[in-house]
Structure 1
Amino acid sequence: MRYSYEFKKDPFGITRIILPEKLSVFSDVFEDISTEEEADEYIGYVKKVLEGEYEDFEITLNATSINIKKNVTIAEHHYRIDEPFESTLETEEFLELMLIWKEKIVEVIED
Structure 2
Amino acid sequence: MKYSYDFFRDHVGTLRIKLSDGIKLFADFIEDIPTEEEADEYIKIVENVLNGLNEKFEIQLNATSVIIKKEMTVLEHFYTYEEPYENEMETEEFKELMIIWKNKIPERFKKNEI
Q: Name the SS for the 1:79 alignment partner.
A: coil
Percent identity (aligned) = 55
Q: Which deviates more, 30-39 or 45-54?
A: 30-39
User: Amino acid of the residue matched to residue 91 of structure 1?
Assistant: T
Answer yes or no: is the 8 Å Cα contact 1:56–1:69 preserved in 2: yes
**Structure number with higher helix proportion:** 1
Moved more, 28-37 or 58-67: 28-37
- Any unmatched runs of 5+ in structure 1? none
- TM-score normalised to structure 2 length: 0.91
CA distance in 1, matches of 2:13, 2:79: 22
Unmatched 5+ residue regions in structure 2? none
- Structure 2 SS opposite 1:8: strand
Greater mean alpha carbon deviation, residues 77-86 or residues 51-60: 77-86
Aligned residue number for residue 104 of structure 2? 104
Q: Tell me, what secondary structure is at the counterpart of 2:108?
A: helix
CA contact (8 A) 1:24 1:84 kept: no
SS of alignment partner, residue 24 of structure 2: helix
Q: CA deviation at 1:11?
A: 1.3
Q: Secondary structure at the match of 2:2?
A: coil
Name the structure 1 match of 2:86: 86
Match of 1:43 in 2: 43
Contact 2:32-2:61 within 8 A present in 1 as well: yes
Runs of 4+ in structure 1 off by over 4 angstroms are: none
In structure 2, what is the Cα distance between the partners aligned to 1:110 and 1:52?
Answer: 38
Provide the C-alpha distance between the structure 2 equivalents of 1:84 and 1:14, rounded to a whole number of angstroms. 26
Shift, 1:109, TM fit:
5.7
Q: TM-score, normalised by structure 1?
A: 0.94
Alignment of structure 1 residues 5-84 onto 2, 5 Å: 5-84=5-84
8 Å contact from structure 1 (residues 59, 65) kept in 2: yes
Determine which structure has greater relative contact order: mean sequence separation of CA pairs < 8 Å that are 6+ residues apart, divided by chain length. 2
Q: What is the deviation of 1:84?
A: 2.0
